[in-house]
Amino acid sequence: MGPAGQRWLAGLAGDEFAAARRAELAAALAAVDPGAALPDDPIEQVTTLVRALTRDGTGPDQFMLGRQLLWCGPDGGSGLAYSCDPSTGRPGVTGTYLAGGSGAQLLTAGGTDLAELIDTQPWGPRLREAVRAAEAGLEWPARVEFAVEHGLAHLVGIAPAPLHGAARLRAVATRYRQGRLTPARAVSLVEPADIEQARSAPARSLGLPVAARGLGVSPGIATGTVVFGAAEAVAAQANGERPVLVLAESRPEDLPGLLAATAIVTERGGQTSHAAVVARGLGRPAVAALVDGVLDGDGTSLRTTGGDTVRAGDLVTVDGGAGTIHLGGRKQGTAERQAGTALPGWLDEALSGLPGISVRVNADTGADAAAGRELGATGVGLCRLEHMFLGERHQTLQRVLMARPGPEMAEDLAAMRALLRAEITDVLGAMDGLPVTIRLLDPPRHEFLPDLTELALTSAATGAPADRDRLDITRRLHEHNPMLGVRGVRLGVLLPMLTTVQIQALVEAALAVRRAGGDPRPELLVPMVSTPAELDFVRGLLDDVCDRLGTSREEAGISLGAMIETPRAALLARSIARRADSLSLGTNDLTALVWGLSRDDAERHLLPAYQDLGLLAESPFARLDLEVVGALARRVADEARAVRPDITLGACGEQAADAAAVRFFAEAGFDHVSCAPPRIPLARLAAARAAVAEGATDVHAMEAAR
């Protein structure tokens, strides 16, 4: 190195740099050959040390010497180039360059934008051509490390560019449209996370302060003004505002507000709470189970442990993926507000011809079913009748639950029958020719009963006999743990007239659609089964209803299935399968009962604390517990198919649409998974990726066996 280079190196690394490196080499040589002297020439120093290290016969397998260009001098620099923008995937050389610095310094100190610099440098044209050649050789966008010395660019390393989100989608799309990727290969290169990342940037990228954190129960980002009641949300929407509805927890009568809200926040709840389920079905961002925020006594403000107070009318941004509420926000453009959940056209086309476990939609209305079908759903995997009684309709179900036998109850049951018949007809029509699983009522009764405290106060204030009577009935029906109480088939056994009305509505709807020239394929699903006798009970009611309507189960085309939600049902899958045409694994309740956890409470404090302490990697309500719940699912599949090889096996619940869960259920032999409409594209992608991976595994196994 000449005097100028020596002065530059001394200024860059310090006067003691060369002496320190020589001392390190001398110490390494002395350790393996104490009598050897270190030469003065730098190249001889390295070769002498290598000879000493390999003198004992150490071969190439144990020792490898790599050669890498090391620029050293004041007239060059180091850089990192990409053949496309790593954030967007747009073609063109981008990257950074640091004049007079090493590669390590480039990583720590940053450099100059390469896109602005490359055309002004003598080494620019050669570097641009080298980056293009690297991409052509890799058949993928390239990441190129380079060094500049004496006006020439030298390549140090070439690797595929690590792209994610929109950038990865663009890179794959370009090659797929050019015919350079098969559909299977294109699908295998796209992760579900890439779709989610491409849809919206995290709220933290907006630079907004975090007011409160909780559990992200429905992904997406939305900005709006805070309201603290369902009626206020409806009024705000009518005035052209974008309300963010904040509640302690939601109830069925809050549905109009949930529909009007642009985002939802609940102080309590979890992945399977009422607000979370509705928000996911609507595609609204939602956060529940706040860990550092609490509503004040009268529910008119949200106080946070950080000292912030969020009041009605304040502008906030909700990130339903990260589980955060941010102060402030920015107005969203029309295109951003209307960003759909559908897959890009090229990816939807690639998926259409690939195999994989089928994906059904959770749909409680004809509109939901139609939306799911448009997104590629192969049927309705879960139609929840209790969701047809949200909003003002909840009073109809409430009156039935609280009624005493008599004319009034008969009138309410007739109204319920007509309502259900109309709604089921819409769902069957929207999904004509495809299976529709109709689940009998499965609400914890407290969701549809009056609030006991409010009713007690009203009764004390009025003293009216009607209020006292309602209070007495509500107290009698009150349960300390309603999620483990009278719900599902248990409610149907205690109130067989209620079950009969639901079955009548289903049979009449199926017959009406068929008479109109349609092809309805209804499947009646019995929830919370614990014993095969419960399924026999419902089958008896179904046969009775068909007889009274002058038809039969076969003529009506209605199959009968059981929901496997209790560990007992999972262990009795063989016996239950003998009586059922289908089994549906309900992962939400099965997870809660296997773990002994409250679905609505555990995710607020307990599970986050366990994760912070390292006792759990993630919530079992967010990711399927493969160790135990998964083991039960495999047992269900094996036992059921042992006695009914043609039985239909499905899975629904929040974990069921997760990519890892889709892959698991496909491998376990399930026929379908079911999820909310916004999650269908991601579940379809996961299903196809699992099938492609399984096909590749089979090919490798066949080749290895040859």
Specify the DSSP class assigned to residue 387: G
Instruction: Name the region of 222 (left: φ>0; alpha: ψ -120 to 50; beta: rest).
Output: beta
Query: CA–CA separation, 568 vs 489, rounded Å?
Result: 15
Query: CA–CA separation, 105 vs 98, rounded Å?
Result: 8
Specify the DSSP class assigned to residue 620: T
DSSP for 75-144? T-EEEEEEEE-TTT--EEEEEEEEET--HHHHHHH--EEHHHHGGGSTTHHHHHHHHHHHHHHHTS-EEE
Give the number of C-alpha atoms closer than 13 A to the C-alpha of residue 247, restricted to the C-beta side: 25
Secondary structure in 3-state letters for 569-601: HHHCHHHHHCCCCEEEEEHHHHHHHHHCCCCCC
Q: What are phi and psi of 310, to 5 degrees?
A: -95, 125
DSSP for 287-333? EES-SSEEE-TTSSEEEETTS-EEETT-EEEEETTTTEEEE---PPP
State the virtual CA torsion across 348, 350, 351, 355 in degrees, nearest 10.
Answer: 160
Quick check: is 84 catalytic?
no
In the block, tokens 């690590």 appear at 162
Q: Which of 123, 95, 126, 124 is nearest to 111 (CA)?
A: 95
Quick check: is 700 catalytic?
no
Cβ(505)–Cβ(542) under 8 Å?
A: no
Catalytic residue of the set 84, 383, 652, 675: 652
Cβ(242)–Cβ(318) under 8 Å?
A: no
Give 288's strand partners. 215
Q: And the tokens for 663?
A: 């892959």
Alpha helices, H only, 311-403? 334-337, 345-352, 366-374, 394-402
Query: CA–CA separation, 618 vs 599, rounded Å?
Result: 15
Catalytic residue of the set 84, 274, 326, 675: 274
Sheet holding 324-327, edge to edge: 210-213, 324-327, 315-319, 221-227, 243-247, 263-266, 286-288, 215-218
Instruction: Name the region of 465 (left: φ>0; alpha: ψ -120 to 50; beta: rest).
Output: alpha
By the 10 Å C-beta count (0-12 exposed, 13-18 middle, 19+ buried), 196 is classed as middle
By the 10 Å C-beta count (0-12 exposed, 13-18 middle, 19+ buried), 291 is classed as middle
Active site residues: 274, 652
